[in-house]
Amino acid sequence: MDRIVITGGAPLNGTIPIFGAKNSALKLQAASLLSAEPLMLENMPDLADTRFMAQLLITLGVDVTWIKETHTLRLHAADIVSTIAPYDQVRKMRASFNVLGPLLARAGHATVSLPGGCAIGARPVDLHLKAFEAMGADIVIEQGYVKAAALRGLKGAEIDFPFVSVGATEHAMLAAVLAKGDTVLKNAAREPEIADLADCLNAMGAKVEGAGTSEIRIQGVTSLSGAKHAVVADRIEAGTYAMAAAAAGGNVLLSGARFEHLGAMIKFLRDVGVTVEAEGRGLRIVRKVNGRLKATDFETEAFPGFPTDLQAQAMALMSLAEGRSRIKETIFENRFMHAPELARLGAQIAVHGNEAIVTGVDKLIGAPVMATDLRASVSLVIAGLAAEGETAVNRVYHLDRGFEKLEAKLVGVGAQVARQREEEAA
């Protein structure tokens, strides 16, 4: 098992390229099942999660070709050879459950394992299944599998989500594009990844309007064609490296980052004393090494609010800020598991239910820490960049799920970061 070792104290200066969004790429991969023609996805991140999804698609009959030199993925689902997504594959990554809707829409039936819980909460799929039922699907859950059928095809429906869900919005879109008639999704999620999926589906011949607003209208079509689509830049990766530059100090250009997708994070960084400006096709992050950041309160919200996927990184930053900050997590339960690990570095964090009170300290001291999930793991890297001495982050397989070439990108701007195999560390 790998670990990442960081020697803190080096400011970051230079350019970090931002790759395609993991949270969008996975749903775009699933969209390939909707057409018998090839789908070319450019700016495709090469991650553990996107590789897991590719393996599942191969099982279902998709021809998969990676062109890694150009970050391009070619997916060709000429024939669906299986409509069963087994537990052994779905359990590795929750997003693989999203093959259910496309299989149901194109083949008329599907059997997909329930994804189960995860380290940051249960994240049930009830809203997904209710959306399919509203479109006329018959659904039975047996022995941990969802068995869905719509042998006469899905029908357009009006679906009013009781609360905002990115996953349910995307999954309903993936099914509705081939349904007969019109579908209206109300109280839909507005994340940039939703609009990215809609852009790809429309390029394939779908008729989706309103993506990025709370009401999405979809006019079903009988079939979709192939297309070429570039995955939107990863706003979470961009926000993570922005927090890293803010923690370590320095001057970093995040090449490819989208200013308009990061409004809440930009406000947060400016509030704590970091300079953030749009520059060309990217973001410039500047923080003078001398002087402390200012503590500020924030809570996670659906887009355009502060992203839950940047909460852990922001907590690491606030552990070094002057004053006390209150962080409220409103999206997922159990998402403060990084707090005890940050405390091993000297952070002062008190967790009460879905709120954390962070009292900033003058400095953090390096120590061995353990990653518990994807975003928590990178928060420990950020803390290690600012800490005195050496920090060893264990269980970095979590990082590989969502960050491509993390060590290389950080080393490229002056960080002292290295990956070690367990035998090397012994």
- Domain segments of the chain: what residues? 2-15+234-425, 23-230
- What is the pTM assigned to this prediction? 0.94
pLDDT in tens, 133-169: 999 999 999 988 999 999 999 999 999 999 999 999 9
Q: Tell me if residue 200 is catalytic.
A: no
| pLDDT score at 284 | 98
Peptide bond into 304 cis (omega under 30): yes
Local structure of residue 42 (DSSP, 8 states)? E
Domain 23-230 has CATH 2.120.10.80: no
Q: What is the DSSP string of 315-336?
A: HHHHTTSBSEEEEE--S-TT--
Give the Cα separation of 50 and 252 in Å (integer).
27
Contact present, 326 and 314 (Cβ < 8 Å)? no
Q: Which residues are annotated as a binding site?
A: 22-23, 94, 123-127, 309, 331
Q: Which residues are annotated as a binding site for UDP-N-acetyl-alpha-D-glucosamine?
A: 94, 123-127, 309, 331
Lookup: tokens for 376: 């928590």
The active-site residue, picked from 36, 107, 118, 278, is 118
Judge whether 2-15+234-425 and 23-230 match in fold.
yes
Q: Which residue has the tokens 């195999």?
A: 421
The region of weakest confidence among 143-147, 193-197, 298-302, 357-361 is 143-147
**Residue 187 binned pLDDT confidence (cut-offs 50, 70, 90):** very high
Q: Which residues are annotated as a binding site for phosphoenolpyruvate?
A: 22-23
Higher pLDDT, 376 or 285: 285
| pLDDT score at 117 | 45
- For residue 187, which of 168, 206, 207 has the smallest C-alpha distance? 168
Architecture of domain 2-15+234-425: Alpha-beta prism (3.65)
The region of weakest confidence among 27-36, 231-240, 285-294 is 285-294
pLDDT in tens, 315-374: 999 999 999 999 999 988 778 999 999 999 999 999 999 999 999 999 999 999 998 887
